[in-house]
Amino acid sequence: MADPATTVGEPWGPSEVPTTALLTDHYELTMLRAAFQSGTADRRCVFELFPRKLPDGRRYGVVAGVGRALRALSHFRFDDESRQFLLDRGIVDQQTADWLADFRFSGQIWGYAEGEMFFPGSPLMVVESTFAEAVLLETVLLSIYNHDSAIASAASRMTAVADGRPCLEMGARRTQELSAVAAARAAYIAGFDGTSSLEAGRRYGVPTIGTAAHAFTLLHDNERDAFTAQIAALGEDTTLLVDTYDVDEAVRTAVELTGGKIGSVRLDSGDLPVQAKHVRSLLDSLGAIHTKIIVTSDLDEWQIAALSGAPVDGYGVGTALVTGSGHPTCGFVYKMVARATSDEPDAPMIHVAKKSASKATIGGRKYAVRSYDSRGVADAEVIGIDKEPTVESGRDLLVPLVTDGEIVGREPLAAARERHRKAFAELPLAASKMSRGEPVLETVFV
Amino acid sequence: MADPATTVGEPWGPSEVPTTALLTDHYELTMLRAAFQSGTADRRCVFELFPRKLPDGRRYGVVAGVGRALRALSHFRFDDESRQFLLDRGIVDQQTADWLADFRFSGQIWGYAEGEMFFPGSPLMVVESTFAEAVLLETVLLSIYNHDSAIASAASRMTAVADGRPCLEMGARRTQELSAVAAARAAYIAGFDGTSSLEAGRRYGVPTIGTAAHAFTLLHDNERDAFTAQIAALGEDTTLLVDTYDVDEAVRTAVELTGGKIGSVRLDSGDLPVQAKHVRSLLDSLGAIHTKIIVTSDLDEWQIAALSGAPVDGYGVGTALVTGSGHPTCGFVYKMVARATSDEPDAPMIHVAKKSASKATIGGRKYAVRSYDSRGVADAEVIGIDKEPTVESGRDLLVPLVTDGEIVGREPLAAARERHRKAFAELPLAASKMSRGEPVLETVFV
């Protein structure tokens, strides 16, 4: 219920995020407070972050957000302002606030590495620590994983069907301004070649791309003036947007101004397969046989598939990518799966699980292996409960991310991108089907 | 195309956003550079931010993000690091970088106030300045408006159908960690009473809510221990989650432990209308007639409607809210609609518009009035081109947000929330229908 004592302040807080600790749900803090009350806060626990299922019809998912989550963890501190806020609102008592002042996660985290594939029930993250430490991380870990993996999962389908043609991320304007930066990063992991987002370039080193919008043509007295200005500033290798007025005339002007050397032309409207074929013929007839054609109008994986037979050299994808192509969140959950029977440090662990039929959880600490058939093609997601599963051929999926509170899972973004490429290549061929279907790997609990 | 010279760096940039200037698409900067080249950068222009249409079936939209956009504008500076990044990547030349060093938006912005309703073609923001200044703002303005208005539009349908029962925002874990904070703010504007997001509480003063998750019950040796701990820490007025094991037994325990004074019980699974009726009967039979029932399992506006006849005292909404209930972005665009005929400061303005059939824009500076019928009910969105429309009864929708570069549109969040309440009350009754339909107001261009 709304707290009637709360006054609603100015919407002009800082744009900085000095700590990630308040990117947390209220109830994590009240649970902490109540656990101190009952003396259970220090019970050893295992929490697991996992998908109950894939979105309907999807055949695999792609893990993204690991690097961002580790960074968020390293900034997860309850500074003076945060603690004062929690005390002022009556969310925590003084004892809890004092404990928070010294809080640093000191436990263990294993997880699927970034860029890896996932399936229903894959234990994407296994967090082992006290209840107090593990419960606080729930919201921020889920936020990052649910968003970034939704984008990477959609992006991977797009790059799969693009089949080697470059995919370019251009969706910043269609999603929250910082989600845009995270989305560009996730898309890059899943095989996109560049992004329109400058902040994704600065922060993560993703290659950035872009030349001009319709406004640039409209600014000038005629299209020829606009093209001339753009070529003078950006060179003949630039991409000219040719659909502001008449496409044929624009293409002729572009070729004429560069002696046939214009780098690319971009189509942003109309019937793209037909347009692309027509423009290719026109370019070729004018001698501009090396000029590329980029298309960018409301593309998604099905549109990309529909363009596979058209003479297109690159796809710019916006809305569909940054909204997860129909599935903007993964529905990952973070559940307690085991706990110690008492508060003693060496108390034995028992499985725990909520019993509601529709949201049942499988208790116990998980281990995960992707098993291969005799040809080296992935054939199952094998999840061991309380023990490592043994398979004839396969590889472990859980890697150490945090050891005794120290972050050990950092890696360059390029490593995640390369992992995605390899992990996709291992999947059965049905993984790249656009039709709706079952997950390409069955999850087997052993 | 991907820039092959770019090295992909560490994914460990700062969590701070010292400037919002790079939350911008690459092509805004290359257009700026080319406009300097052709001498058109200083042409006076009018840009307009508007929806081409509402999402299919929606009857109105709600403007949100105005306050956040003004804040982003106040932090929109190209600091040394940003300019060096742009130079290093070859995105801008030295002349452009030098101009960016001094950049402060110095023009005029009018817009729909926050919390206001919108319809197809509503000119949500009118930006008047030089091309150079206006073009740079495109991406960050669209990002903020497209996200925040999508959430507010979904939230408004939920609070409309909840018809006075409190709605609580609990979706932080299902969306990017900072989108979550913006979503909580947007939902509050559209009538939600609280949020689970602590950062939304700290940053925007939104009331925060929450008590405990299933993990808290699972942590304890039995449910009674968990409830006892929670009541001891948070008081008898707390909300107990009663569906971890057996709902009836949990309700009996909750009543017994508090002598019937337990504040609320929460149901998070199962057939909620049936469960709510059963639990209400049980509570009443046990004498707990003041205990409230909160429901929280995958609710959306249709589920809330389906629960309207059930004895429910509050709705917790997560995924559907933060993903815009099927429409995670608004599809707002930012287009040049007028420009000066030359670079002279007093050159006359002409209409401009892209001509592609599927994405046509109506040229000219817009004015907007919501007109009323004789009973004071809104009956049309009247948009004047180049002049204020005259109506018998109505009110102006465009208010000054920025005057000569100075931000004048700041207001407390409570003002936007109150505006939403009033503007919704003015709409025809069909606005609160859940069935798919046409916008409840027609947009008339005059």
Nearest CB neighbour to B175, from listed A68, A322, A329: A329
Over the stretch B366-421, which tens digit does the pLDDT of each residue have?
999 999 999 999 999 999 999 999 999 999 999 999 999 999 999 999 999 999 99
Predicted pLDDT of residue A433 = 86
CA distance linking residue B12 with residue B8, whole number of Å: 12
The pLDDT confidence band at residue A292, using thresholds 50, 70 and 90, is very high
Per domain, the residue ranges of chain B are 26-151+327-445, 211-312
Of A142, A173, A195, which to mutate for an interface test with B (greatest number of B Cβ within 10 Å)? A173
Q: Do domains A26-151+327-445 and A163-322 have the same CATH topology?
A: no
Chain A neighbors of B182, CB-CB under 8 A: 176
- A422 reaches B (C-beta below 8 A): no
B359 inside 8 A of chain A by CB: yes
| ipTM of predicted complex | 0.95
Q: Which residue, A153, A292, A191, A319, is CA-closest to A236?
A: A292
Residue A377 has a pLDDT of 97
User: At the topology level of CATH, where does B26-151+327-445 sit?
Assistant: nicotinate phosphoribosyltransferase (3.20.140)
Length of chain A: 446
Which residue stretches of chain B have pLDDT < 50? Answer: 1-16
Q: With beta carbons under 8 A apart, name residues in chain B contacting A147.
A: 175-177, 179
Q: Which fold has domain A163-322?
A: TIM Barrel (3.20.20)
Of A22, A147, A177, the CB nearest to B198: A22
Residue type, A138: E
> Is A412 within 8 Å of chain B by CB?
yes
* pLDDT for position A57: 87
Instruction: Give the sign of the dihedral formed by CA B63, CA B68, CA B70, CA B76.
Output: negative
In this predicted structure, what is the pLDDT of residue A418?
98
pLDDT given at position A15: 43
A65 φ/ψ sector (left φ>0, alpha ψ -120 to 50, else beta): left
> Both tokens of residue B396?
């102006």
Contact B166 A2 (CB under 8 A): yes
At residue A17, the 3 state secondary structure works out as coil
Report yes or no: A53 at the B interface, CB cutoff 8 Å.
Answer: no
Task: Kindly determine whether residue A216 and residue B35, on different chains, have CB atoms separated by under 8 Å.
Answer: yes
Across the interface, of B38, B193, B196, the residue whose CB is closest to A229 is B38
Query: How many inter-chain contacts (A to B, CB under 8 Å) are there?
Result: 463
Provide, rounded to the nearest whole percent, the portion of chain A with pLDDT above 70.
95
**Helix residue ranges per DSSP H, A40-171:** 66-74, 80-88, 94-101, 131-136, 138-162
pLDDT in tens, B139-148: 999 999 999 9
Q: Which residue of A has its CA nearest to B318?
A: A331
pLDDT band at A354 (very low <50, low <70, confident <90, very high): confident
> Residue A12: which pLDDT band, with cuts at 50, 70 and 90?
very low
Testing the interface with B: which of A20, A32, A219 to mutate, by most B Cβ within 10 A? Answer: A219
> Nearest CB to A212: which of B34, B201, B353?
B34
Cα A92 to chain centroid distance, Å, stands at 33
- Write down the residue that tokens 């925002």 correspond to: B169
Structure confidence at residue A17 (pLDDT): 59
Q: Which of A346, A420, A416 is nearest to A43 (CA)?
A: A346
Taking CB atoms and an 8 Å limit, are B31 and A216 in contact across chains? yes
Q: Which of A177, A295, A323, A417 to mutate to test binding with chain B, by most B CBs within 10 Å of its CB?
A: A177
How many Å apart are CA A323 and CA A328, to the nearest integer? 5
How close A237 comes to chain B (CA, Å)? 11
Nearest CA in chain B to A203: B13
Q: Can you identify the CATH homologous superfamily of domain B211-312? A: Aldolase class I (3.20.20.70)
A 278-317 residues with CB < 8 A to B: 292, 314
Tens digit of each residue's pLDDT (9 = 90 or more) over A99-125 = 999 999 999 999 999 999 999 999 999
Give B390 to chain A, closest Cα distance, Å.
30
CA distance A153 to A42: 37
Is B403 at the interface with chain A, CB within 8 A?
A: no
Q: CB-CB: which of A1, A31, A352 is closest to B213? A: A31
pLDDT in tens, A203-234: 899 999 999 999 999 999 999 999 999 999 99
Interface of A with B in 371-400 (CB under 8 A): none
What pTM does this model have? Answer: 0.96
pLDDT on residue B95:
96
